[in-house]
Amino acid sequence: FKCHNHSPQEMDDQIFKGNRKAKIVYVVRDPRDSCVSLYHQLQKAGISDWMAKANFTDFFKTYFRDGKTVFYGLWEDHVNNWLSSRDEYDILVVKYEDLIEDSCKEISRVADFIGCDLTPEAVRRIAEKTSFANIKDQNLFKEDGHDGVHDSFLRKGVVGDWKNHFVDMADEEMMRKIADDLYKKHQI
């Protein structure tokens, strides 16, 4: 299942109940693309008049970088909480960018992690059936009361769409450096 819990300790209270053998697959995405994705999702959801009218730069500065406002805290706090717990919990880290670049390789990593022996053909079929394009085409994630792909919360699923949104390159550079530092700290 997918969650946005702030830390594995929070999940422990709700789900694991002290079971340290539970296998966790943690998918981390470039914070710049995460911001773009969240921006479009919240605009579409119509959560507030401000959000409906906000441009991307205002959203980034006022919402995404305000740890008291954003639902799940700052990106780097969320990621650091999970990655810092890898000694305590059985966590496999998958970078979204790697999943898009070579889905078969990442599916094989996940299968190995959970102890599932898959043939190369099975991996290929899983990659095909779970591709962004296939899931979007099947309308699997459309919102209740809406009809079709255009009402889905799935948008593009691409890597690097941040390049079409960040105007202030100092903001982009700050987020790149935050990600690079965290990835280096946690050796991912």
The three-state secondary structure class of 96 is helix
Q: Is 4 a catalytic residue?
A: no
- One DSSP character per residue, 100-161 reads HH-HHHHHHHHHHHHT----HHHHHHHHHHTSHHHHHHTTTTBPTT--SGGGBS-----S-G
Return d(Cα 24, Cα 64) in angstroms, integer.
26
- Which tokens go with 43? 């605009």
From the list 4, 6, 150, 165, the catalytic residue is: 6
How many residues comprise the chain? 188
* Identity of residue 146: H
- One DSSP character per residue, 12-50 reads IIIIITT-TT-EEEEEE--HHHHHHHHHHHHHHHT--HH
Return d(Cα 77, Cα 80) in angstroms, integer.
5
The residues carrying an active-site annotation are 6
